[in-house]
Each structure stands twice: as structure tokens, then as C-alpha cells.
Structure 1
Amino acid sequence: MSALDRARAAVEATANALSRVPAFQSPEGRRIALFASFRDEIDTLPLARALWAKGALLALPVIVGRERPLLFRSWAEGAELQPAGAFCIPTPGPQCPELVPDVVLVPLAAFDRRGLRIGYGGGFYDRTLAGLRQRGAVTAVGFAFACQQVACVPAEPHDEGVDVMVTEAEAFRCGDEDGI
């Protein structure tokens, strides 16, 4: 995809998220964890700006160690982010308070309509979602380009799927033929 097509797709995916995903339709006061886009991931900044404007409390993930779940730190518009880890992903610093999210936007390399995803091999989101789901209700939302959809992602016992998938082409409840 060209840079212009990628930017358009991010805006269209944001529109789909805001108009089709209940968790994003009235986000005031809701705790939402996004991800800071890197490499060829879809840009989450348009969605972040829209959610800030609607009063959502946003956070970004922080890797605290191998084989450990992520923690999320509050992220305010305009806050300085620090590159961290092997991939230098923008991350809120330790001065930012920890936030336990109601909704987690999940990055991925590929996904299927069942909500299974292929991540980047660290298992961080699988561990994190499992822990959050043990504590209570959390909505996991995949956010990606439509071209990342595949027919079937191979599943392993530890895999934690997403509940909803959002792309520039559509938004749908995973595993539900009737949609959102």
C-alpha cells in the first residue's frame, strides 16, 4: 500500500470503529488501551485523537519483562513518549500512572473471522488478555488493514482471540455471522 492509501485506510478504520463498535460509540470515561503503531501497522493516531475528543482515558502498553503480561500506562494527547525495547516502540514513561483497560486495541500481523490472530511472536497480548479476562470483562478489538485477513489462523491452546475486528473495509464481531 502506498503511504496515501495507508493514511486513508487508517481514517476509514477509525470511522468504522467509531460508528460500529459499541465500546467506541460512547467512550467518555472508558479506559481504552491502544498500541503505538510501528513498522507497517495501521496508524492508531486518528483513532486516539477521536477518542480523546470524546473523553476516553487512553493508555499504551509497556513491556515489563519476558514471559510477563503487558502493563498499560496513561497516555494524554501531546505527552512525550520514549522509545523502548528492541523495536524502540513509543512508550509512556514511568511517571505516567498505570491504567487497567476496559477495551484493548490489539495489533496483529494477520487475522481470521473467528478472531484468531498472528502477532509478533512474544505472546504478550495472549498473556495480557488472559489475565484481564480472569479479572473481569474486557473487550479485545483487533485493528488492522483488510488485506491482513487470512482464511484460517492456526490456533494454539494459549491463544487469546479478539472479540471484534476493525479494518478500513468493515467492523465485525468475531465468530458472529450476524455482525455487530
Structure 2
Amino acid sequence: MTEKSCNDPEVREYASPPCFAHELSSAYDGQSGPGDCWSDVLRWRKAERQRLIEERLAIDADERKARSDRIAPRLDLAIGKVSGRIVSGYWPFRGEPDLRNWAIKIIERGGRIALPVVIRKGWPLEFRVWRPGDRLERGVWNILVPSRGPSVVPDVVVAPVVGFDGANYRLGYGGGFFDRTLAAIPRRPLVIGVGYAGSRLRTIHPQPHDIPMDVIVADD
């Protein structure tokens, strides 16, 4: 099927037109990046996602560890007291900052660590408490997740970013899991995005369904 232009009269007659630059966040100024169509934004995000992941994977392992070590104390400052709180971390994937040692220190300081679990496509994430030694299994994208355990509501959610902008919007992997989860969670946690400084974008061209992080912590 041939893709229709945004100027096609048939397209303009749709009740919910696929071209809706007017619905973009005010962060979108139209100066550069995608055109006026949501399909253009999707293509732009896909290309940026691929570029940023490739750049991230090209980082030397020792350098990646050094950058992760720089992020950890900044996270401590952003979170504050952890004793008695549930902090949702993540198992590193495709070159993401590795914060597993930091997570163990959270447990040593009286906090609890939870890991996000994809239950089903289109569903919110589930958070399960994890401690070193707990059984893990391969989940979606082959990421290790706790194989059992009750679902909990975290006080803090640490979410890895593929890209981010100055308004604290997060460019993820495109599945919408974190946005869907934050929209459905019964009480809003402190939400912190983590990533490398080189992943900073002028804007991700946020849409009405995008939910900004409370803060972004990077290695710069």
C-alpha cells in the first residue's frame, strides 16, 4: 500500500487526521527534526533510537563502567534517604549504564530493590522485589527478571533512557511500557531517568501520551 502524503485531500478528511503538529508539545518548535506528521515523528524517533544505541554500544567496557560509576553518586543525591523505600532499578541491556553494584548498596542501606517485568504487550509493567541470590529468568528481549514474587509499588523508579531532552522527556525503546505504567500506577513515584550525556537531544518532540521524568541523571 502506498503511504499517503499529509497534503492528500483524503487524509485531511479523516476524523482524527494523521498529521497533527498542532497536538505536539510546546517543546516542538518545528525548526528542525521531523515534519508535521506523526508518522514523520515516528520515523525520526526510530532513526535517533538506532543512532544512539549504536553509539552507546561502541563505548569501551571500561569507559562504560567509569560513566556508570559517575552516575551512581548523582543518583544518591537525587533520591536522598533510601531506608524503608522501594527503589525500582533495571537489569542493564544494550549498553545501558550498569547500576547493579549501586542497587546492592541501596539494599545495604536499608532500601529494597525492585525490577520491572513485562507481563504482556500493551500492559503496564509489574515491579517485583529482588535481592542478590533470588532466582532470575529470561523475560522479554531476553532481559533477566525475578521469576516470582509479589507485585509492589515502588517509591522511586529509575528508568534507563535511550535519549532525553531538556524538558526531562525520555526517548525509550518505543514499546510505551514506562509511559503506560506511570499513567496507571496508583501513586506517583519519584521518576528518574538515567543515561549518558551524549544521549541528550534538543527535543524528543513529545506527544500527549509522553510523560516526563522528574529528573534526568547523566554522567556529565
TM-score (norm 2): 0.71
Contact 1:10 1:46 (C-alpha < 8 Å) held by counterparts: no
Q: How far apart are the structure 1 equivalents of 2:182 and 2:187?
A: 11
Instruction: Give the letter for the 1:141 counterpart.
Output: I
Question: 2:82: which partner in 1?
Answer: 27
Contact 1:58 1:75 (C-alpha < 8 Å) held by counterparts: yes
Q: How many residues align?
A: 162
Aligned: 1:90 with 2:148: no
Q: How far apart are the structure 1 equivalents of 2:213 and 2:105?
A: 22
In terms of fraction of residues, the more strand-rich structure is: 1
CA-CA distance at 1:77 after TM superposition: 2.1
Q: How far apart are the structure 1 equivalents of 2:188 and 2:160?
A: 20
CA-CA distance at 1:119 after TM superposition: 0.5
Matches within 5 A, 1:161-172: 161-169=212-220
In terms of fraction of residues, the more helix-rich structure is: 2
Runs of 4+ in 1 over 6 A off after TM superposition: none
Alignment gaps of 5+ in structure 2: 1-58
Instruction: Give the letter for the 1:92 counterpart.
Output: P
Q: How far apart are the structure 2 equivalents of 1:110 and 1:6?
A: 16
Question: 1:108: which partner in 2?
Answer: 161
Question: 2:207: which partner in 1?
Answer: 156
Larger radius of gyration: 2
Instruction: Calculate percent identity across the aligned residue pairs.
Output: 32
Alignment gaps of 5+ in structure 1: 170-180
Contact 2:182 2:188 (C-alpha < 8 Å) held by counterparts: no
CA-CA distance at 1:154 after TM superposition: 0.9
CA-CA distance at 1:45 after TM superposition: 0.7
CA-CA distance at 1:15 after TM superposition: 1.3
Question: 2:62: which partner in 1?
Answer: 4
Contact 1:81 1:91 (C-alpha < 8 Å) held by counterparts: yes
Contact 1:110 1:117 (C-alpha < 8 Å) held by counterparts: yes
Q: How far apart are the structure 2 equivalents of 1:145 and 1:80?
A: 30
Structure with bigger RCO (C-alpha 8 Å, 6+ apart): 1
Q: How far apart are the structure 1 equivalents of 2:208 and 2:70?
A: 33
Q: How far apart are the structure 2 equivalents of 1:79 and 1:113?
A: 37
